[in-house]
């Protein structure tokens, strides 16, 4: 027992020393960067808490912002708001688990001397029937589950931070910010157009044409390009390592190397518009596991032994003071998402997908738009 205690104290001491050394280096870097104002220090600093928050928040809001009113029309206003908050909190918890696992991984690697230094319209005749069928209800719920699916870049963001231990609350703060965008937007559009949204999964298709709409479409496209870059970052790194280009210092060479990844995905995105039913199907079959189930199971397996829990780099949070409570919440997350998200959500989203598959079209010039009078006549 004395030997174990001494070993544990040595581990904690070495971890604290490495953290203090990193903090000193960061302070020196910050002083050096702020001594001379430059565009690089303004746009390319990269490792602060604000940078991590900005990355998380911008990675959350994408085309889902346009499909949430569609989900509200399937579920009703109250269910839409409640489930959006619920999955936002649940997603924040699994992001917290990923941050804990990363800190644990980093602390173990640092003991092996591994360095991490490079690191409102009004519309007439609007009705709001709310949920009318279970298929529509669970399809809408699954699309909301898909809203908070930016966990793929969580580790990359933490790896770029100067102090990754501070990431634990960043995702929650980013989610709270996202609520200020998604909830007012979804509720106002659903209130304005009501049940018309059941046949228009893209909110842009119901808005009257104007310069404001054109500007919104352009801004959304720009945002989609940025989000695409965020979401594909882990895949880029894997591909670069496969072809032996990950350690090259040439940005242009790495950009060219990534083209075999970008082009096929871009081509598929042009063929199939990823809105509404497709979002729900992806959410139930893929996001359920990558965002909720796998992080919870990974956390449980990592700390399944008493020694792992005793020597954990991150202890349970203050609102769950015991490991039993952490395991209980993880178990609830796995069961809930497996049954509601993957099970019922998968059934509903696939049924809705099959029902609407004829409205997609390949390389459609206008997604789910009503047929022209000439085509109807013929």
Res 41: pLDDT: 52
Question: Does any domain span residue 83?
Answer: yes
For the chain, give the mean pLDDT: 76
Q: Work out the number of other CB atoms within 10 angstroms of the CB of residue 62.
A: 21
**What's the domain count of the chain?**
1
Per-residue pLDDT band for 22 (boundaries 50, 70, 90) equals: very low
Residue 218 in any domain: the answer is: yes
Residue 20 included in any domain = no
- Read off the pLDDT of residues 65-115 as tens digits, 9 standing for 90 and up: 777 887 888 888 888 889 888 888 888 888 888 888 888 888 888 888 777
Asked whether residue 25 is domain-assigned, the answer is no
297-312 pLDDT per residue, tens = 999 999 999 999 999 8
CA distance 66 to 276: 9
Is the full-model pTM beyond 0.85? Answer: no
Domain boundaries, position 317: 48-370
Decide if 122 is inside a domain. yes
In a domain, 30, yes or no: no
pLDDT at 169: 77
Rg over alpha carbons for the chain, rounded to the nearest Å, is 23
Are 206 and 196 spatial neighbours (Cβ–Cβ below 8 Å)?
A: yes
Select the more confidently predicted residue: 11 or 250: 250
DSSP summary character for residue 290: I
pLDDT above 90: percentage of residues in the chain? 9
**Is 27 part of any domain?**
no
Query: Is 298 domain-assigned?
Result: yes
* Residues 6 or more apart whose Cβ sits within 8 Å of residue 345: 138, 139, 141, 142, 145, 280, 283, 284, 288
Alpha helices in the chain (DSSP H): 2-35, 39-43, 49-60, 64-75, 77-111, 134-147, 154-160, 170-193, 211-243, 251-257, 259-271, 277-282, 294-302, 306-310, 323-336, 345-356, 373-377
Whether pLDDT at 276 is above 90: no
The two tokens of residue 131 are: 């949920």
Percent of the chain scoring above 70 in pLDDT: 74
């Amino acid at each position: 027992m004395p030997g174990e205690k001494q070993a544990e104290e040595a581990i904690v001491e070495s971890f604290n020393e490495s953290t203090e050394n990193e903090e000193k280096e960061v302070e020196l870097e910050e002083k050096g960067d702020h001594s001379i104002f430059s565009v690089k220090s303004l746009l390319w600093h990269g490792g602060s808490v604000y940078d991590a928050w900005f990355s998380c928040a911008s990675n959350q809001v994408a085309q889902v912002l346009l499909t949430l009113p569609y989900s509200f029309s399937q579920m009703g206003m109250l269910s839409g708001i409640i489930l959006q908050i619920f999955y936002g909190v649940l997603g924040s918890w699994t992001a917290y688990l990923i941050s804990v696992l990363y800190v644990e991984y980093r602390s173990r690697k640092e003991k092996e001397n591994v360095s991490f230094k490079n690191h409102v319209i009004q519309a007439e005749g609007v009705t709001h029937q709310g949920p009318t069928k279970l298929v529509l209800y669970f399809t809408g719920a699954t699309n909301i589950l898909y809203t908070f699916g930016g966990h793929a870049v969580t580790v990359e963001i933490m790896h770029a931070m100067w102090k990754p231990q501070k990431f634990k609350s960043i995702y929650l703060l980013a989610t709270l910010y996202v609520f200020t965008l998604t909830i007012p937007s979804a509720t106002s559009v659903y209130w304005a157009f009501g049940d018309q949204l059941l046949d228009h999964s893209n909110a842009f298709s119901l808005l009257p044409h104007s310069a404001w709409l054109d500007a919104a479409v352009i801004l959304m496209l720009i945002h989609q390009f940025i989000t695409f870059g965020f979401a594909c970052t882990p895949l880029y790194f894997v591909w670069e390592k496969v072809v032996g280009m990950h350690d090259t210092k040439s940005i242009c060479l790495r950009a060219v190397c990534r083209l075999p990844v970008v082009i096929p995905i871009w081509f598929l995105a042009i063929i199939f518009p990823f809105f509404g039913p497709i979002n729900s199907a992806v959410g139930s079959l893929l996001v359920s596991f990558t965002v909720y189930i796998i992080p919870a199971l990974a956390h449980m397996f990592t700390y399944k032994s008493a020694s792992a829990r005793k020597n954990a780099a991150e202890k349970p949070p203050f609102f769950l003071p015991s490991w039993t409570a952490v395991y209980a919440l993880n178990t609830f997350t796995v069961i809930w998402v497996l049954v509601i998200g993957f099970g019922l959500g998968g059934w509903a989203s696939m049924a809705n997908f099959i029902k609407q598959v004829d409205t997609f079209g390949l390389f459609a010039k206008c997604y789910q738009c009503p047929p022209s009078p000439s085509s109807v006549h013929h």
